[in-house]
Amino acid sequence: MRKLLVVFSMIVVFSMLVTACGTAATPTAAPATAAPATAAPATAAPTTGAPATAAPTTGAPATAAPATAAPAAAATAAPITTQPVVINYWSLWNVGEPQQAVILSYMAAYTKIHPNVTFNPTWAGRNVLTKLQAGITAGQKVDIVDGEGPGLRGALVVNGLTLPMDKYLSQAAYGETVPFSSIFVPKVLSALAADDGTIHIIPYEILSTAIEYNKTMVDKSGVTVPPTTWADFLSMMDKMKAAGLTPLTQDGGINFYNDMWYYTLVERIAGPGLLMKAAGDKTGATWDDPAFLQAAQLERQVTDGGYIVSGWQGFVFPAGQQLLATGDAAMELCGSWLPNELKTATPAGFVWGAFTIPNVPNGKGSQNDAELDPLGWVVMKNSPNADVAADFIKFSMTKSNAQEIPDQAVNLSSRKDTTPPPALVDNWANFSKAPTYFLTHDGINAVYADYYTNIFLIDHDQMFLGKITPVQFIAKIKADTIAYWKSH
């Protein structure tokens, strides 16, 4: 149990990283979770609906008709068990969010097919992993947990608390003849594999960062999209300014939005993994790699170039993204959840486009590479109902069920034959064909959560907001990294 307490003490940071992938944000609504400790005091974290800090909601699922019909092959499925089974399910979603409704429909549909299997869901919100600690400590049985993939891996998988799913992945997909493993976008399963290569996390939704833009507005400016080089990107924005448009908006009060520029540029320059290496290097020497200074200098070309709407540094969320909806700015670097958050704020006829940060000279990464931030399921290692839990997960990933994520939650599914929502067609085109994936924040938010929150985000914000220079940033974060590891 002591091991479990240590594990969960490191994962509070994940509550702020998935706050922007549920229901649409109301422009003046209170945030779903408090801003991280490193954010400006007045800055709220992105909202996704019901307060994430609310007490977990439990109870059997409603008997309303499921959002998707069960596959024909599944309608006559043999009982997975003849004994009464209750699946204890813990979720990062809050009651009322689209994904919560979708998952609830999966439960109702599965119970209709397998009447002896019922569900006891705990809608714990973004702090699901922290609340899970209390539940397990109190002796609660847990079968399935859903959450952000890197968080599940860092808190549960690497500590031996989850079940390898390889056996089930080699079986036929639910109601199909192909292996379950074959239905996913290539490489998304292995991206979060355990250290021994086994697969524990089954992703059902994919988040990925891109420059989201008002397609009509950008097309009217006469620029070529997407730009394929960094020089093209800056030139494109200069032309937009000359046409009277403000190219970019930025919610500058959200530090983990600000660092999207940095970790993506580091990937473009050096490929995946360098930021992770630097975060864990107790000597600080990895920060001397010229890729880190170059990425900071490229960022400052954006922030110092007059491309971002005036006053962005002091915006309180969601002030920045609202300017994209109102046409006061044309683009924003953000996660693929943005169209969902702005769906009630954008006018009728608003057309979304997206492109990824372009190539940099002599870069080892590529514009074709895609950020991967999957939301998924794990089955707990001590679950007495592992086979039933796995069967439910397979059922939830039938084509018709998986399509509910794009259709109802306006996000991307991990299933390769689903159709993206219209607002995310460009995002899906890039993600589904990416040759290489890199984890959001290069994975340091999962592996070195405390360092990420209290060192990296703070130091990066000082540079990004213009308080220190790129050269000073490298010197500072190197020194702070050395000092951090001396005390940890």
Q: Decide: helix, strand or coil at residue 465.
A: coil
Q: How far is residue 461 from each of residues 40, 61, 88, 231, 255, measured CA to CA in Å?
A: 10, 43, 40, 24, 6
What is the pLDDT confidence band of residue 82, given thresholds at 50, 70 and 90? confident
Q: Tell me the CATH number of domain 209-370+443-486, given options 3.40.50.970, 3.40.50.300, 3.40.190.10, 3.40.50.1360.
A: 3.40.190.10
Extract the tokens encoding 252: 């500058």
Q: Domain 2-207+373-440, CATH 3.40.190.10 — does that match?
A: yes
Q: Which residue spans within 50-128 are E strands per DSSP?
A: 57-58, 85-91, 117-123
Mean pLDDT of the region 130-145: 91
Whether the predicted pLDDT of 48 surpasses 90: no
Mean pLDDT of the region 411-436: 96
Mean pLDDT of the region 110-119: 96
Q: Residue 6's closest CA among 145, 118, 156, 163?
A: 156
> What element of type H or E holds 332?
strand 331-335
What is the pLDDT confidence band of residue 80, given thresholds at 50, 70 and 90? confident
pLDDT of residue 78: 63
What is the pLDDT confidence band of residue 377, given thresholds at 50, 70 and 90? very high
Residue 13 or residue 459, greater confidence = 459
pLDDT of residue 251: 98
Q: Which of 58-62, 353-357, 368-372, 439-443 has the lowest mean pLDDT?
A: 58-62
pLDDT in tens, 446-477: 899 999 999 999 999 999 999 999 999 999 99
For residue 438, give every residue at least 6 positions away whose Cβ sits within 8 Å of its Cβ, in sequence order, or none: 267, 271, 272, 273, 365, 369, 370, 371, 372
Instruction: Pinpoint the alpha helices (H) of 55-122.
Output: 98-113
Partner residues linked to 243 by β-bridges: none
Whether the predicted pLDDT of 70 surpasses 50: no
pLDDT of residue 387: 97
Mean pLDDT of the region 212-241: 96
Q: Which of 69-73, 330-334, 373-377 has the lowest mean pLDDT?
A: 69-73
Mean pLDDT of the region 96-123: 97
What is the pLDDT confidence band of residue 137, given thresholds at 50, 70 and 90? confident
Residue 27 or residue 399, greater confidence = 399
pLDDT of residue 26: 34
Whether the predicted pLDDT of 28 surpasses 80: no
pLDDT of residue 32: 31
Whether the predicted pLDDT of 128 surpasses 60: yes
pLDDT of residue 4: 42
Domains 2-207+373-440 and 209-370+443-486 share a fold: yes
What are the residue boundaries of the structural domains of the chain, listed by start?
A: 2-207+373-440, 209-370+443-486
Q: Residue 334's closest CA among 252, 402, 268, 270?
A: 252
Mean pLDDT of the region 390-397: 98
pLDDT of residue 285: 98
pLDDT in tens, 246-286: 999 999 999 999 999 999 999 999 999 999 999 999 999 99
Mean pLDDT of the region 215-234: 95
Whether the predicted pLDDT of 289 surpasses 90: yes
Whether the predicted pLDDT of 227 surpasses 90: yes
Partner residues linked to 377 by β-bridges: 146, 202
Mean model confidence pLDDT for the chain: 87
Phi-psi region of 25 (alpha: psi -120 to 50; beta: other; left: phi over 0): beta
Whether the predicted pLDDT of 168 surpasses 70: yes
Mean pLDDT of the region 236-245: 96
Q: What is the DSSP letter of 357?
A: -
Extract the tokens encoding 364: 């080892």
